[in-house]
Structure 1
Amino acid sequence: MLAACVACVLSTAACAAEDVRQPSAIGTDAPVIVPGSPGSPARTATPGERVGRTPRPTVAADVRFAEAMIPHHRQALEMTSLVEERTTTDVVRRVARAITAAQTPEIRAMTSWLADLGRPAPAGHDHTSMGPGYGMASEEELNALRAARGDVFDRLFLQLMTRHHEGAVKMAKEELTGGRDHRMRLLAKDVYSGQSIEIARMRAAMTSLPAS
């Protein structure tokens, strides 16, 4: 009888431990809200859906992604802030507004994530900090953009921002290859898909500009 009691206790403990490790299934009673990815709305879980997942360890690739993408995004926002006073083209305005709307909350999300790790967000947008191949504009290119107006501005903006986005897509690929943190991988997926779409839009907008 004693052996049976011990076995029962051990079995109960094992079941409890397994319940802690596994995500729980959603019933049909009270609704469960599942947070969306950065910049996306939350949603209601469907009955029977399993929510929650075992946390994955944060690795160096995750930190590198956040610490590089924050200044990368900041430079994009600096470029979009120039648009309203310098363009006369609606499509360029729409592109700039979409970039601002997407990247502002992503900066907040990455800054908060780094703060949870006890790491400060990088300052500024030093174009030398991540090496060549990531699309950062040089100070000379930024000065040329600030000085341009009209069609000249539009063409230079689209050229610089397309290259900038291509660099961000490259960074997102690196995170999806080497990163482990669930939040950073979700954000990298958003960057990859969203900026790939915007690259196609900017290339199309470039063809609509008057020939230089």
Structure 2
Amino acid sequence: MPEKSRMCALFVTVLLISGSAGCGQEPERPAPVGTDAPVIVPQQPGGTGRTATPGERVGRLPASPTAADVRFAEGMIPHHRQALEMTGLVPNRTTSPAIRAVADQIALTQQPEITIMSNWLTALGRPVPGGHTHDGAGDGYGMATEAQLRELRAARGAAFDRMFLELMIRHHEGAVRMAGEQLAGGRDQRMRRMARDVYAGQSIEITRMRTTLDTLPG
């Protein structure tokens, strides 16, 4: 066989052997790049970074709470407490299933929210507001006055129903405003979730209460 033909045959044989060896096998994949490189975890602004430990999950640092987050929790806790005081008057003062349903929904959602916000403040080392003091939110957030609460306690039947809805609608409108302020200036993810829940849930309840109010006699 001529030399040129012998070289061509050898070249074809090598190609066939290489192809056979690759049949049925996964193509070799490139190894991860930089798996042994150290991962630097950033610290607070201006601070020095540190090297992550093996197996440590590295992600975005949680945002530090802002004054808006704290104001929201410190204002919403007494705000919720007053709502719960008003709903506590409902069973002995109304015969309306619609009013009872409103009160039950408020109690169902707002008591757990008080617990969450109280625990959050405690973890920050801040005192949990007591009673109905609403110094953190100030005027314009729908809190009923003591005179209005006394009048509500004295009312019965249809008079109670109307007063309860009117006070609670304004109360909810104040809570929605507080939630909007938190969402505009807060950064803590737990408080932002709380504010979104308050904003959405109480907006829906406002619509329902207005509808119920329109159906009341007189």
Pairwise TM-score range, normalised by the shorter structure: 0.7 to 0.9
Q: Find the counterpart in structure 1 of residue 153 from structure 2.
A: 146
**Counterparts of 1:110-129 in structure 2 under 5 Å?**
110-127=117-134
- Deviation of 1:125 (Å): 0.5
In structure 1, how many angstroms separate the alpha carbons of the residues matched to 2:108 and 2:159?
25
Deviation beyond 4 Å, 4+ runs, structure 1: none
Q: TM-score, normalised by structure 2?
A: 0.75
- Deviation of 1:54 (Å): 3.3
**Counterparts of 1:6-45 in structure 2 under 5 Å?**
12-14=37-39, 17=52, 20-22=57-59
Q: TM-score, normalised by structure 1?
A: 0.77
Aligned sequence identity (%): 58
**1:166 pairs with 2:173:** yes
Conservation of the 8 A alpha-carbon contact between 1:61 and 1:178? yes
Larger Rg: 2
In structure 2, how many angstroms separate the alpha carbons of the residues matched to 1:126 and 1:58?
23
Q: Find the counterpart in structure 1 of residue 47 from structure 2.
A: none
Q: Find the counterpart in structure 2 of residue 198 from structure 1.
A: 205
**1:175 pairs with 2:182:** yes
**Corresponding residue SS for 1:123:** coil
In structure 1, how many angstroms separate the alpha carbons of the residues matched to 2:194 and 2:110?
11
Deviation readout 1:6-63 (Å, 9 max, x if unpaired): xx79x521287496322xxxxxxxxxxxxxxxxxxxxxxxxxxxxxx63111111111
- Deviation of 1:207 (Å): 0.9
**Corresponding residue SS for 1:83:** coil
- Alpha-carbon RMSD across the aligned residues, in angstroms, is 1.9
Judged with a 3 Å threshold, the aligned counterparts in structure 2 of structure 1 residues 161 and 103 are, in CA distance, closer, same or farther, namely same
Conservation of the 8 A alpha-carbon contact between 1:127 and 1:137? no
* Equivalent residues, number: 173
